[in-house]
């Protein structure tokens, strides 16, 4: 069924449909590769935004090496398709070990991420597959307030020391920071300050660890807001791991990561009815086609409606969206029933996750269909 849309125009798609502009996603991926080359750091691309083979090929510049995933399912999916040097970038717990063991066996380089004594103890007590060691990153929290050991805590250096205590079991790869607190910045200047604070704190942690005899071979940070605003401070690191940059979204535009024109994805939706008595029209995209991630964030409601700054998606039910004007009367002649609108999502990772296929377009024609992996 999917192959039948190739060569068709976007207007022929059944809606709502997730549409990706190939030229934009390619440009976004190449720009990040170029940033990393300029900074002299390795790019370990996060795949959680798109979860597709084609997207990861663009992110790795065709090498298929150097990914970070957010689920074991993604790690297995990429392993099945010839990718290697994959970090399962999620706090490890003992329950993960059977699948982690298989991936460690299959891949040349499969890494896990830990932030607890329990995880380190589990790895020290579990024999790795023959001729392999567990390859491990320590996750450090430099202000994000999610997973990770706290950068200032002396006991956390003890955890790093434990990771180096038995090289026949564990190869310590270094430290990993997801500076996701950049998403809470008030403005782009604040993003820059948080980026630099994360780097400074991480380097202090690395220095303290070094004094206790722990060498961190890899020192990396990454979120799209920080990496789309690269600075010389990043040259002190050797790895970046952003992910959302492949698609970008309205949230990124508010943080100074991009302009609305750079956003590579959107939801195509059809107008399904006019309701002049309440100055509204309905579209066939409800919260299952967009999510409610942008609630309360934008004057234009739950998304930005491309090329129509006076339209607002004011509410949604499961399969229906309610569109009105930001100001004034709706000119229904401009919006015939059956015609398309294109919704730029607030959070593309969440919106992409609503769709079993992505329609890839170039010059308004569908040139490919990408199938993301789903599951955990
Ligand atoms: C652990 C981890 N690393 C990297 C990233 C990539 O960050 P971004 O999506 O801002 O590029 C994420 C995103 O949530 C993450 O959770």
Q: Break the chain into its structural domains and give their ranges.
A: 40-247, 260-370
47 alpha carbon – ligand 1 mean position (Å): 9
Give dist(CA 94, CA 46) in Å, integer.
23
Percentage of the chain surpassing pLDDT 70?
99
Label residue 146 exposed, middle or buried (CB < 10 Å: 0-12, 13-18, 19+).
Answer: exposed
The overall average pLDDT reported for the chain is 97
Q: Is the CB of 47 under 6 A from ligand 1?
A: no
Give dist(CA 278, CA 101) in Å, integer.
59
363 alpha carbon – ligand 1 mean position (Å): 30
Give dist(CA 353, CA 375) in Å, integer.
10
Q: Per-residue confidence at 1, pLDDT binned at 50, 70, 90? A: very low
Q: What is the pLDDT of residue 346?
A: 98
Mean pLDDT, residues 293-321 taken together: 97
> Who's near 261: CB < 8 A, 6+ residues apart?
none
Cα distances (angstroms) measured from residue 19 to each of 13, 108, 131, 293, 301: 10, 35, 45, 18, 20
265 alpha carbon – ligand 1 mean position (Å): 18
Which residue stretches of 274-316 are H helix? 287-290
Q: Is residue 152 helix, strand or coil? A: coil
Position in ligand 1 atom list of the atom nearest CA 90? 1
Condensed to tens digits (0 to 9), the pLDDT of residues 110-159 reads 999 999 999 999 999 999 999 999 999 999 999 999 999 999 998 889 99
Position in ligand 1 atom list of the atom nearest CA 245? 11
Give dist(CA 181, CA 145) in Å, integer.
8
288 alpha carbon – ligand 1 mean position (Å): 23
Q: Is the CB of 243 under 6 A from ligand 1?
A: yes
Condensed to tens digits (0 to 9), the pLDDT of residues 177-229 reads 999 999 999 999 999 999 999 999 999 999 999 999 999 999 999 999 999 99
Pocket test for ligand 1, best of 222, 251, 349 (most atoms within 8 A of CB): 222
> Who's near 1: CB < 8 A, 6+ residues apart?
none
295 alpha carbon – ligand 1 mean position (Å): 21
Q: Is the CB of 89 under 6 A from ligand 1?
A: yes
CATH of region 40-247: 3.20.20.10
As assigned by CATH, the class of the 260-370 domain is: mainly beta
280 alpha carbon – ligand 1 mean position (Å): 37
Output the DSSP codes for 343-373.
EEES-HHHHHTT-S-EEEEETTEEEEEE---
Instruction: Record the pTM.
Output: 0.96
Q: What is the pLDDT of residue 3?
A: 54
**Residue identifier of the C-alpha nearest atom 3 of ligand 1:** 178
Which residue stretches of 183-332 are H helix? 188-211, 224-227, 250-254, 287-290
Mean pLDDT, residues 306-328 taken together: 98
Q: Per-residue confidence at 91, pLDDT binned at 50, 70, 90? A: very high
The answer, yes or no, to whether residue 2 has pLDDT greater than 90, is: no
**Residue identifier of the C-alpha nearest atom 7 of ligand 1:** 223
Mean pLDDT, residues 331-359 taken together: 98
Q: Is the CB of 178 under 6 A from ligand 1?
A: yes
Q: Is residue 128 helix, strand or coil? A: coil
Q: Is the CB of 69 under 6 A from ligand 1?
A: no
Q: Under a CB-based contact definition with an 8 Å cutoff, are residues 19 and 216 in contact?
A: no
Give dist(CA 264, CA 21) in Å, integer.
5
The answer, yes or no, to whether residue 77 has pLDDT greater than 50, is: yes
Q: Is the CB of 46 under 6 A from ligand 1?
A: yes
80 alpha carbon – ligand 1 mean position (Å): 23
Condensed to tens digits (0 to 9), the pLDDT of residues 223-243 reads 999 999 999 999 999 999 999
Percentage of the chain surpassing pLDDT 90?
98
Q: Per-residue confidence at 99, pLDDT binned at 50, 70, 90? A: very high
For the four alpha carbons of 353, 32, 39 and 231, in that order, the dihedral sign comes to negative
- Beta-strand pair 170-177/340-345: unpaired
Q: Is the CB of 312 under 6 A from ligand 1?
A: no
178 alpha carbon – ligand 1 mean position (Å): 6
């Amino acid at each position: 069924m999917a192959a039948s849309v190739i060569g068709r125009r976007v207007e022929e798609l059944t809606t709502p449909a997730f549409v990706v502009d190939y030229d934009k996603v390619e440009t976004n991926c190449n720009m990040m590769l170029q940033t990393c080359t300029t900074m002299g750091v390795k790019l370990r691309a996060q795949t959680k935004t798109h979860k597709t083979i084609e997207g990861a090929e663009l992110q790795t510049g065709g090498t298929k090496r150097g990914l970070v995933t957010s689920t074991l399912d993604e790690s297995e999916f990429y392993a099945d398709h010839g990718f290697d040097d994959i970090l399962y970038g999620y706090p490890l717990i003992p329950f993960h070990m059977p699948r982690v063991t298989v991936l460690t066996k299959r891949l040349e380089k499969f890494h896990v991420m830990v932030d607890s004594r329990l995880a380190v103890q589990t790895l020290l007590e579990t024999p790795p597959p023959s001729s392999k060691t567990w390859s491990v990153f320590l996750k450090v929290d430099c202000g994000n307030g999610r997973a990770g050991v706290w950068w200032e805590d002396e006991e956390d250096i003890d955890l790093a020391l434990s990771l180096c205590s038995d090289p026949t079991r564990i190869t310590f790869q270094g430290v990993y920071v997801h500076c996701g607190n950049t998403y809470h910045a008030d403005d782009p200047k604040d993003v820059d300050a948080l980026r630099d604070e994360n780097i400074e704190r991480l380097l202090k942690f690395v220095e303290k660890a070094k004094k206790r005899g722990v060498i961190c071979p890899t020192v990396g940070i990454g979120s799209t807001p920080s990496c789309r605003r690269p600075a010389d401070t990043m040259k002190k690191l050797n790895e970046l791991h952003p992910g959302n940059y492949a698609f970008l979204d309205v949230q990124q535009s508010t943080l100074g990561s991009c302009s609305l024109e750079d956003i590579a994805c959107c939801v195509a939706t059809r107008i399904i009815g006019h309701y002049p008595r309440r100055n509204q029209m309905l579209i066939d995209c409800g919260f299952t086609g967009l999510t409610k991630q942008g609630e309360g964030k934008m004057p234009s409601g739950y998304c930005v409606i491309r090329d129509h700054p006076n339209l607002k998606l004011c509410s949604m039910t499961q399969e229906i969206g309610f569109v009105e004007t930001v100001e004034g009367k709706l000119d229904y002649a401009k919006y015939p029933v059956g015609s398309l609108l294109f919704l730029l999502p607030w959070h593309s990772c969440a919106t992409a996750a609503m769709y079993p296929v992505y329609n890839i377009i170039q010059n308004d024609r569908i040139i490919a269909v990408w199938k993301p992996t789903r599951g955990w």
